[in-house]
Chain A
Amino acid sequence: MSEPIKFHFDVDGDNFSSAGEASVQVKRMLRQIGIPADVIRRVSVAMYEGEINMVIHADGGNADVVVEPGKIVIILADRGPGIADIELAMTEGYSTAPENVRSLGFGAGMGLPNMKRYTDDMKIESVVGQGTTVTMTVLF
């Protein structure tokens, strides 16, 4: 594998039930190209949390996954409201998710902390009123 393998997904902001489709597809494709199971789990859970965030807060967005030898990069970009205080958003248990989302089992304030925990590097670029881009890297 010399050339990077790239996947692109549009994350539908309206459909909560289909949130996670991209992560499940990525999981399947990574398995097909022989990526180790623990790496697949880290990538797909981090990406799923990000996808859910985009559906909850930003009316969807774009997800790109780039697979290189020894490294997988996930880029999630949205045009949502942005994050005013990233440090606060990273605090376990802090959530601004609405009640209807909480009743589905989300909004526990563990999404961003999980994304950070499961990846080797996570960078959040956000401008209030313009959107957020989260770039996560998993090394293996």
Chain B
Amino acid sequence: MTVNQLIEKLSLEVLNLEEGDREITGGYVGDLLSWVMGKAESGDMWVTIMTNVNVVAVASLVDTACVVIADNAEIAPEVIEKARTQGINLLRSSKSAYQLCNEQILL
């Protein structure tokens, strides 16, 4: 499944989209950044409620396919701007992390 397909199927809000045809090959849920860096894989859909600027750096270093902010967690404009400069697919939803993963798996 591509990031574009995920956006459409889960009705995600697009905060920044650089590479819509990037293939999603797995997923990881987590808010503790070192755990994400230790466990998430390149190509993952990363679901988190963490929205500070370090999320962009972690997504870039881990090379996730996209970051999905769950529960409509508030995100500062400068973080979205950072995602733009770093080329990170940044999405958001009012759904919880559990719901998002559940729906993604059923696709």
Q: B residues within 8 Å of A by Cβ?
A: 31-35, 37-38, 42, 50, 52-55, 57-58, 60-63, 86
Contact with A106, one of B54, B60, B62, B86 (Cβ below 8 angstroms):
B54
A119 at interface, CB cutoff 8 A: no
Contact with A41, one of B33, B42, B50, B53 (Cβ below 8 angstroms):
B42
Tell me if B's interface is mostly helix, strand, loop or mixed: helix
Contact with B60, one of A27, A49, A52, A108 (Cβ below 8 angstroms):
A27
A111 at interface, CB cutoff 8 A: yes
When A and B form their complex, what is the total count of cross-chain residue pairs whose Cβ atoms lie within 8 Å? 66
Min CB distance, B19 to chain A, in Å? Answer: 15
The interface size bin for chain A is: 20 to 34
Q: Which of A12-65 contact B (CB under 8 A)?
A: 16-17, 19-20, 23-24, 27, 37, 41, 44-45, 48-49, 52
* A-chain residues with CB within 8 Å of residue B38 when the two chains form the complex: 110, 113-114, 117
* A-chain residues with CB within 8 Å of residue B54 when the two chains form the complex: 16-17, 19-20, 52, 104-106
* B-chain residues with CB within 8 Å of residue A41 when the two chains form the complex: 42, 61-63
Give Cα A34–Cα B37 distance, bound, in whole angstroms.
Answer: 22
